[in-house]
Structure 1
Amino acid sequence: MAHLKKTDLNALESRYRANLINSCSGIKSVNLIGSTNNSGITNLAIFNSVMHIGSNPPMLGFILRPTTVRRDTYNNILENKQFTINQIPYHLIEQAHQTSAKYEVNASEFDELNIEQEFIEEFEAPFVKDSAIKMACRYVNSYLIEENGCRLIIGEIEHIIYDEKGQAEDGWLDVSKLKSTACIGLDAYVETQLIKRLSYAKPNENLKQISHGS
């Protein structure tokens, strides 16, 4: 087993260290965040940091890297207070990864990468049409992480659109059945496979397996 101390980590080559730290926390969700600016130009960017904030009210968050350089997603959200979160189907992995490239501010990743977008009434931010689970969020707040200059962006979910074949009777969504992509680190993409669902944990009670799809 490798054992690296803080001094060892600090001595690593920067890209090696980034790959290690980004992958050591395990498999994460990966999503495309859609937004639009005041000129109507749409933007699409890949993020591996989307997280559950709360269910009542329903809120999600994601981590934005330091704004010392141009961040179109952040600027668009501040302008229009709206964004979408779209899970990535397997057939869009390469185009989704390519959204991390630095396109010109007046270019839309939807157009550049031939990703079909769609809209719903009363919401300006674009969705990825082929995504099996997609959410429309209203910007709530952002919090600066002083230690590294990143920001936690929080949005309240106003719409959820999903393929019902992946939903159980209790509301749970099986993202593996909907073939949503997950990721390891910054550049590795993996399939998801359900192992088991377990009952709510209580002291001195045996766990029960929840039937798949129930």
Structure 2
Amino acid sequence: MDIVDPFRSARLILELRQAGVMDNRVLSAIERTPRAIFVPDEYRDMAYDNRQVPIACGQELSLPVMVGRMVQALDVQAEHSVLEVGTGVGYQAAVLSLLAKRVYSIERFRTLHDMAKDTMTSLELNNVRLFHADGLDGLSDHAPFDRIILTGAISLAPYKLAQQLNSGGIMVAPVEKDGFQHINVYKRIENQVEKLTTLGPSKFLPLIIGAAREL
């Protein structure tokens, strides 16, 4: 299996541009990340399509366009430390690893955590650290972070996590309210957390709250 399918990857990058992802660093990171490696064998033909793909534990691999838009809004720089809540199989963490100095990613499901760990090792992504824990607790031992991103929807603005941001840090999170879900962009300014903008509607699975699960 080729690590990256050049034709299908180029087509996906065109779709990302058409969806408003114009940051060349983000586009390059997505183009260089072999999405097919993160997709279960039975869905391998869908790897470079702009669609959600089922993965283990009843979860889904996010739409590539949604990954692109959220990572673009995160505005990751080479010196940044990034916290990701919801590793899944590790695709977005791999994209972030090509943009940031270090990526910390938390996954509640042991099966997904182990799968992501194996893939990161095979890709030799040495600036990614994976944790099996409740992501909404964050990682206080490694805080503060320059950027935080959530890969599942929550019902309340994530102010607890925002306290682990550096002043000036940015957080991107899908938030569901009154039956509608939107991706919000927050910024920490000294001890205050302000919502900067909304990227638009989304359809993320809920971020499961509670202790890490051995599934």
Instruction: Tell me if both proteins adopt one fold, taking TM over 0.5 as the criterion.
Output: no
- Between Structure 1 and Structure 2, the one with more helix by share is 2
Find the structure with the greater CA-based Rg. 1
Give the TM-score normalised by the residue count of structure 2.
0.23
Higher relative contact order (CA 8 A, sep 6+): 1
